[in-house]
Amino acid sequence: MRRDVFQAIADPTRRAILVLIAARAMTPNAIAEHFDTSRQSISKHLRLLTECELVSQEQAGREIYYQLNASKMKEIDVWLEQFRKIWESRFNALDQVLYNMKKNKK
């Protein structure tokens, strides 16, 4: 089954993992310390994030470090852009209405 970035970010634990490793690469054990869940559960989340290419693995000795693949986050940004444009135009229209109301009060 093909997994996509939207499936990956649908889960709050996976979003929290992405935030954690955005600052620095971490081992699964270091990641698991931040959650009230099993190491095995974190491994499943990391596997899905890896399949979606949101994280990459790097071997350093016996340890595996997971790091954010920021370029893959662009896919999310592109999708969100359509909504950003809609809301910006609505906020701009609201600003204009408020400006006109304030101007008419004077």
Single-letter amino acid code for the residue at 82: Q
Give pLDDT tens digits for 41-65: 999 999 999 999 999 999 999 999 9
Would you say the pTM of this structure is higher than 0.95? Answer: no
**Res 23: pLDDT:** 92
Residues of the chain with confidence (pLDDT) below 50: none
Single-letter amino acid code for the residue at 58: E
What's the CATH number where 32 sits?
1.10.10.10
Q: How many domains does the chain have?
A: 1
Burial class (CB in 10 A: 0-12, 13-18, 19+), 27: middle
Structure tokens at 96: 């204009």
**Res 3: pLDDT:** 76
**Res 2: pLDDT:** 63
Rounded to whole angstroms, how far apart are CA atoms 77 and 6? Answer: 11
Identify the domain containing residue 91 by its residue range: 5-105
Give CA separation, 102 vs 5, 58, 98, in Å.
Answer: 44, 58, 6
